Chains A and B, each alone.
Chain A
Amino acid sequence: SQTIHQWPATLVQPVGSPLSLECTVEGTSNPNLYWYRQAAGRGLQLLFYSVGIGQISSEVPQNLSASRPQDRQFILSSKKLLLSDSGFYLCAWSVAAGGVETQYFGPGTRLLVL
C-alpha cells in the first residue's frame, strides 16, 4: 500500500530564517505531487505541483519554492521566512484509477514563524 510522509510535524522558525520541508511517498511510482498551505480557519491553497522529476509548477507567487530531486520526494523551501508564511503545510500525491485521479494527503507540518 502507498504511504506519504512529511517532516517535521511541527516547526517554529524566526522571521528571515530558511525553511526546508520534506515529503516522501512510498509504494507508488511517478506520482503527481502537490504542496498546499492552510491558514488558520481557512481552506487549502495549492502552492506547487509536480508531474515528474524536476518539473515544478507554481500556482501562487511567493517567497517559497519547491523541488523534486527524486521521483517520490518533494521539498518545499524558502530562503527567508515571512510572518505570513505561518500555516499548516500539506503534501499530497495523486494516482489515476480508471482515468480519474484522486489526491491523498500527508499528515502535514505546522509552521509558526515568529
Chain B
Amino acid sequence: LAKTTQPISMDSYEGQEVNITCSHNNIATNDYITWYQQFPSQGPRFIIQGYKTKVTNEVASLFIPADRKSSTLSLPRVSLSDTAVYYCLVGDFYGAGSYQLTFGKGTKLSVIP
C-alpha cells in the first residue's frame, strides 16, 4: 500500500476555500485515492474518490496531478460544521476488495468564525 503524508492540522476562517494536500509518492498503477471526513465520536464519512485529473461532487473537489504522487482535497466556502478530521487513503480498490485500507492520523481542520 502506498504510504500517505498529510498535514496534522489546519485552520481556516468561515467562508474560505480550504485545500488539504496529501502526498503519496509510491502510488501504484491500480491505486485509487479516497478521502473521508470524521467528526468526533462518529464513523468516517466517504467524501470523494478519484484516479486522475479532477473529480467534483456536491461536497468537494479532488485534484490529482498527472504524476499522481499527490492529491488535493478542496472544500469550497467552509462553515463551522466542516470542522473535522480528514483522511487521505490510497489503495487498490479496484475489484480485489478494499480490505487493505489503512487510515493514518489524518488532518484536523478547525474552522474559525
Binding site for B on A (CB under 8 A): 32, 34, 36, 41-46, 49, 51, 57, 88, 90, 92, 94, 96, 99-108, 110
Contacts and interface: CB of A to CB of B under 8 A. Distances in A.
A43 B106 contact: yes
Main secondary structure of the interface of B (DSSP, over half): loop
Given A43-B106, A44-B103, A105 B44 contact: yes
Nearest to B87: A43
Contacts of A90: 43-44
Contacts, number: 65
A92 B103 CA distance: 13
A102 B98 contact: yes
Nearest to A102: B46
Main secondary structure of the interface of A (DSSP, over half): strand
B87 A100 contact: no
B53 interface: no
A43 B99 contact: no
